[in-house]
Amino acid sequence: MHHMSTTTKAGITELGSVIVPVSDQDRALDFYVGLLGFEKRMDDPYGDGLRWVEVAPAGATTGISLSVPAEGMEMPIGIDTNIVLMTDDIDATHEYLGAHDVDQDSEVMRMGAPVPPMFFFRDQDGNRLLAVQSGAA
């Protein structure tokens, strides 16, 4: 009898986290936890003085790992993360970020159905994120 497996053919079960390069993990936590209101899921030392820091919106399965490039490692900071963050109220999100001097698009992009309203914004290191209106706008 065949039952639905929770793993893929390669044994992969879920999207764990997306790594975003940052220059300073404490400053990154101020932005993602302090300003955006994400949860801090992990802040554990590993290797030679490194920290694994992971944040996520409450209830989200997949988190963002805020990673400082290791010594001698080529990892540009200030990238397009290609991360989409969903919001129930795109205008309120845009207004909130603007009130906190976040570097963001001056206006919400509205292309009309079926494309939801959206805008780009950047974190403390200039890493680009996309905010998108969830559900019916």
Listed in sequence order, the residues at least 6 apart from 67 whose beta carbon sits closer than 8 Å to its beta carbon are: 19, 20, 21, 22, 52, 53, 75
**Dihedral pair phi/psi, residue 99, rounded to 5°:** -65, -20
Average pLDDT on 33-61 reads 96
Domain residues for 110?
Answer: 17-69+76-133
Q: Which of 45, 67, 47 is nearest to 55 (CA)?
A: 67
Whether residue 65 is contained in a domain is answered as: yes
Domain presence at residue 127: yes
**Which pLDDT does position 137 carry in this prediction?**
46
pLDDT for res 79: 96
Partners of 18 in beta bridges: 64
Q: Is the pLDDT of residue 135 over 70?
A: yes
Q: What pLDDT does residue 42 have? A: 97
Q: Does residue 7 belong to any structural domain of this protein?
A: no
Cβ-count burial of 28 within 10 angstroms (0-12 exposed, 13-18 middle, 19+ buried)? buried
State what percent of residues in the chain have pLDDT above 70.
95
For residue 116, the domain's CATH number is: 3.10.180.10
pTM above threshold 0.85:
yes
Q: Does any domain span residue 9?
A: no
CB 58 within 8 A of CB 36: no
Q: Is residue 38 part of a domain?
A: yes
Strand partners, 129: 83, 121
In-domain check, residue 1: no
Q: What is the mean pLDDT of residues 34-61?
A: 96
Average pLDDT over residues 7-25: 93
Instruction: Report pLDDT digits (tens) over 65-111.
Output: 999 987 788 889 999 999 999 999 999 999 999 999 999 999 999 99
**What is the reported pLDDT for 122?**
98
The pLDDT of residue 92 is 98
26 DSSP 8-state letter: H
Q: Is residue 5 one of the residues assigned to a domain?
A: no
Q: Tell me what the mean pLDDT of segment 61-68 comes to.
A: 96
CB atoms within 10 A of CB 8: 9
Strand ranges in 76-137 using DSSP code E only, listed in sequence order: 80-87, 118-122, 128-133
Share of the chain above pLDDT 90, in %: 82
Report yes or no on 4 lying in a domain. Answer: no
Q: Closest Cα partner for 22 from 85, 69, 73? A: 69
- pLDDT band per the 50, 70, 90 thresholds, residue 1: low
Closest CA to 57 of 126, 134, 136: 134
Domain count, the chain: 1
